[in-house]
Amino acid sequence: MAAWLGHRTYASLCTHDLNVLNGSCKYVIIDSQGAIDRAHGIGFDVTGDQWREVEMTLSPSGISGGLWLIDMHTMGSAARLTFEDEHHEDVVAIWQAIGMADGRRTLSTDPHVAENEIPEELRYTVQGEIRAFNEGESLAVPVDAQVLFKRLGLRLYGEGELLSVRQTGIPCVYEPDEEVFEFYYMSED
């Protein structure tokens, strides 16, 4: 298990990351191949399929309590959620200039990290839209946002932080999503 979190031994995990893992950590960058290699190194013949079964048993959704147990490629989803959920004055200013807030939408996430690197500060550029409406129209404002995750342990990151949001183009009219939900009532009798 320690190798799954980037450590060679359980003692190393306890010494360096256990307090953070139980505290302010939000994202755990798992190392499946590292865990398999470590198991082989201590005499356990574990296949990739067997290890994936262990991972699914530990956390079938990839989320365990407040922790996300994910690989580095999935951190783009964390950047998307940070952009779409985090409060920032630049977002509020765009909403107020148009009228009423109508959400945010991510179009793409671009990591500023080399392959297989676990940087001290993991940065993303999120390209997306700030949506707002007024009496006359609904507008989507194209933006670039900078999102930062600070490393708290060997492969542990804290909550994402929305650093800045910058308008990159002219607002476009869009049709608000109007989903029609039908509700049915069935008696239990």
Query: What is the per-residue pLDDT across 13-54, written as a single tens digit (0 to 9) for each?
Result: 788 787 777 778 899 888 888 888 888 888 888 888 888 887
Tokens standing for residue 129: 């839209």
The whole model's pTM is what? 0.80
pLDDT bracket for residue 59 (50, 70, 90): low
Tell me the sheet residues that pair with 106. 128
Nearest to 151 by CA among 161, 143, 141: 161
**135 vs 183, residue with greater confidence:** 135
| CA proximity to 161, closest of 149, 152, 153, 151 | 149
Give the pLDDT score at 73.
86
Closest CA to 6 of 44, 33, 41, 43: 33
End-to-end CA gap in the chain: 50
| Phi–psi pair at 94, nearest 5 degrees | -65, -45
What's the farthest any 2 CA atoms get from each other in the chain? Answer: 69
What is residue 98's predicted lDDT score, i.e. its pLDDT?
92
